[in-house]
Amino acid sequence: MTADCGIVSGEFTIDCGYAKRGLAVDVALDAFMQYVTVERALARNTLESYERDLRAYLQFLLQRGMNDIGQTDRTSVVLYLQALQDKGRATATISRSVASLRAFYSFLTREQMIALDPTAHLDTPRLERRLPRVLTAAEVERLLASPNPATRAGLRDRAMLELLYATGIRVSELVSLRVTDVNLSAAFLQCYGKGSKERIVPLGRLARDAVSDYLLRARTAMARDGQESALFVNHLGDRLTRQGFWKIIKKYAQRASITSHLTPHTLRHSFATHLLDNGADLRAVQEMLGHADISTTQIYTHVSRTRLQDAYASSHPRA
């Protein structure tokens, strides 16, 4: 995972002038990525985020002639974050970059590769807490009814959409599912979320029926290779990717006449909000979503409350 000469990544281009002494930036990055990959065993998406954020930062340093990571200080970090802000990067993006830099410098300091941590006492940008977009029950019904069950792809797509809405799992968790992860007779599935943390999520009847139809009538013919363990496969018979599912859900959003921006995460938001709308316990929703902190789940109580207020305002004669 070293930074190669001439590579363009993020906002900056590497001008390879590595240090003759001290800790070269590519060595520092290699050491950190090996640590989070081997010792921490972080999820692939987390590893990719770390590497993307840190390469952009290290390239920023290299363009300014700073080849030794030990020469960096608080000013170096602040200037980089200011550069991101000047380029119009979202607050969430900058906040994630701060988290990546903190993890990076904390590791280097702990391993005594550098003397001081320049991110110590660094403020994190305050995130605007925007309410997530949630589908109405009618929109969900139209979306789930969009795939054509007379085709193999339609059976697969209906099963995926039903599963997402029935369980609230992330799209990365959906495409990572194996056939053996779904227990239709016991009505549950097991998936692996952030940090490879396993959780069990119950399955409703409609989702079970959709997955069962797909397994019986489509998957064997689509998979081709009897050794393929993935539950959902593409037209080549290989495991479906996140990018592939994005294209699928965009197609069905148009077919269902959903004009607002729809992402796979919208179904996760809708799952949680609709549960709370109908009286589900917040702790139970937290467990099903796989949130480590209940404060993350509480955003859906605000969505539910806002929807209730809107319904009152539009329906009550004295609202």
Q: Among the options 156, 158, 170, 269, which is catalytic?
A: 170
Q: Among the options 105, 165, 214, 300, which is catalytic?
A: 300
Query: Rounded to an integer, what distance in angstroms lies between the CA atom of residue 62 and that of residue 79?
Result: 13
Contact assessment for residue 100 and residue 80, using Cβ atoms and an 8 Å cutoff? no
Q: Among the options 52, 74, 142, 194, which is catalytic?
A: 194
Identify whether 265 is a catalytic site residue: yes
- Beta-strand ranges (E) seen in 173-215 are 182-183, 188-192, 198-202
Longest dimension (CA), the chain: 77
Identify whether 274 is a catalytic site residue: no
Q: Among the options 158, 219, 268, 274, which is catalytic?
A: 268
Identify whether 291 is a catalytic site residue: yes
Q: Among the options 52, 142, 242, 291, which is catalytic?
A: 291
Contacts of 24 (CB under 8 A, 6+ apart): 18, 67, 68, 69
Identify whether 121 is a catalytic site residue: no
Q: Among the options 250, 265, 302, 307, which is catalytic?
A: 265
Burial zone of 23 (CB within 10 Å; 0-12 exposed, 13-18 middle, 19+ buried): middle
64, 40, 36: which is closest to 49 by C-alpha? 36
Identify whether 110 is a catalytic site residue: no
What residues are labeled active site?
170, 194, 265, 268, 291, 300
